[in-house]
Amino acid sequence: MKVAILSESSADEAALRVLVDGILEKQTEPIVLPPLRTRGWPSVRQGLRNVILHLHYHTDADSLALVVDSNNSPVHLRAHEHDLERDPRCRMCDLHNIATQTLARLRPIAGRTPLKVAVGIAVPAVEAWYRCGVDSRVTESAWIHALDSRTFGYTKQSLKLDVYGTDHPSLSHETTRAIEETNRLVGEKLIARLEQSFPAGFGSLLRDVKNW
């Protein structure tokens, strides 16, 4: 299976590749994307439409996996999947809308199956996923409570310190640690625990990937 990966940094993309392969229980073939001008949430959001167009018209990719951090935006809820309950600030809803609208307008190509897109949101950051099986305090429900109460048992910065030993890691160190942690998650068969701890953000990615 030929899979493109899009996230907020190349380190995140390397880690996401490990998770996707772990979910599928097989190694995927990478599809190289054109470089984004900048990285981070705004760039990924703005570039998603063009990424889908590029994959459909200029590659033989089967699928695209996409993950961004939620930061302090509202955590996705199943209720958002009903039109009247959608939250315009929810990054999951936003990305799903962009992907769905773009895919619906693609011109069919003979011999090509429709591109499949999987979307995940790391709450509040992908480093939270890396703490699964290590720190039981770090969960989606804990972050929702923290946002509501404005009392934070951990922050995005503290998660980086826990994972990398610094809140400003070099890209090389960040990539190494991200791959180490996702290899641990897959090797210790913690995919199901990831879904339990992060049912909306990781659970969505898991369900989408399993439907490829």
Q: Which pLDDT tens digit goes with each residue over 13-47?
A: 999 999 999 999 999 999 999 887 778 999 999 99
Is pLDDT above 90 for 122? yes
**Cβ distance 61 to 32 under 8 Å?**
no
**Cβ distance 165 to 129 under 8 Å?**
no
Confidence at residue 127, expressed as pLDDT on a 0 to 100 scale:
98
Is pLDDT above 60 for 168? yes
> Lowest-pLDDT range, 22-36, 82-96, 141-155?
82-96
Could you list the residue range(s) of the whole structural domain that residue 100 is in? 2-210
Q: How far apart are the C-alpha atoms of 71 and 94, rounded to whole Å?
A: 15
Q: How many domains does one find in the chain? A: 1
Task: Give tens-digit pLDDT for 38-76.
Answer: 789 999 999 999 999 999 999 999 999 999 999 989 887
Average pLDDT, the chain: 93
Q: How far apart are the C-alpha atoms of 83 and 146, rounded to whole Å?
A: 26
For residue 34, how many other CB atoms are within 10 A of its CB? 11
What φ, ψ does residue 76 adopt, rounded to 5°? Answer: -65, 140
Confidence at residue 36, expressed as pLDDT on a 0 to 100 scale:
79
Q: How far apart are the C-alpha atoms of 80 and 134, rounded to whole Å?
A: 30
Region 169-174: mean pLDDT is 97
Look at residues 10, 74, 2 and name the one whose alpha carbon lies nearest to residue 44: 10
Region 160-182: mean pLDDT is 97
